[in-house]
Structure 1
């Protein structure tokens, strides 16, 4: 991620949603590791817990696309993509 200090009037018009492919705790640990070289703004647990990993003003490297990264907010949901019953409701 990079510190950006996007102005208040900078349009954030994309939401990037991913599944953690693991537990809430493991996702938090991964996204706290600078060597991981990716980021997200929020992680949502199956139990409804939410942790903010970086400020919305900052750019998360999450989508593999500069435009989406710069204009988006990333949300990771705890669970596994092949187990929809695990996903946050």
Structure 2
């Protein structure tokens, strides 16, 4: 249910990183690593499964929104996720 804005002390702008600000040009990242980076964490940070699920809710739309600036690599094995990286100019 919606709540009034007046219930919040602070309402900063909803500003997300651009792919170039978030990702290293010579690296490829899993969606899990991107989720961590979007929260200011290290890509290999240990998280509880429930926390990781919440972070994925932010990362998946970010990837879709920024798809024009990204490249994707197929998993190297069936046990591995796909990878995303910056598209070269």
- Give the TM-score range, shorter chain: under 0.3
Structure with more helix by fraction: 2
Q: TM-score, normalised by structure 1?
A: 0.26
Q: TM-score, normalised by structure 2?
A: 0.26
Structure with more strand by fraction: 1
